[in-house]
């Protein structure tokens, strides 16, 4: 989750694997395993830049996952699962966000 959250914060620019490992204090072999799984799930993409491999989020993959998770949410009321609709314990929602709607099917 830490790797995924870091990459989400960085956006499409991503970060080299070595810098991800340094920032999160994760051994390279462990990071490699997690990046492989995130990539296999379609949530992360990689590309070569010189001698480095840059990892970044796959926005389309994340949108597809979110669409899948909320498609049949709450007995046909997906607005209840919209981003920003949660109220974590002890925290009040300060800003309402609009739902981005349903992800188009392939």
Q: What are the domain boundaries of the chain?
A: 2-57
CA distance 60 to 16: 21
Could you tell me the pTM of the whole model? 0.67
Tens of pLDDT, residue by residue over 28-78, are 999 999 999 999 999 999 999 999 999 999 999 999 988 887 777 777 776
- Burial bucket for residue 38 (CB in 10 Å: 0-12, 13-18, 19+): buried
32 to 16, 22, 26, 39, 69: CA distances (angstroms): 12, 13, 10, 10, 26
| pLDDT at site 10 | 94
> Rg of the chain over CA atoms, in angstroms?
16
CATH class (in words) of the domain with range 2-57: mainly alpha
């Amino acid at each position: 989750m830490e790797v995924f959250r870091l990459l989400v914060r960085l956006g499409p620019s991503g970060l080299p694997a070595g810098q991800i490992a340094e920032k999160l204090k994760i051994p390279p072999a462990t990071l490699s395993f997690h990046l492989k799984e995130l990539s296999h799930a379609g949530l992360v993409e990689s590309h070569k830049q010189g001698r480095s491999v840059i990892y970044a989020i796959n926005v389309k993959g994340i949108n597809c996952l979110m669409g899948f998770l909320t498609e049949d949410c709450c007995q046909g009321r997906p607005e209840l699962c919209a981003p920003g609709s949660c109220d974590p314990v002890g925290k009040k929602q300060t800003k309402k966000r609009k739902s981005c709607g349903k992800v188009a099917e392939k």
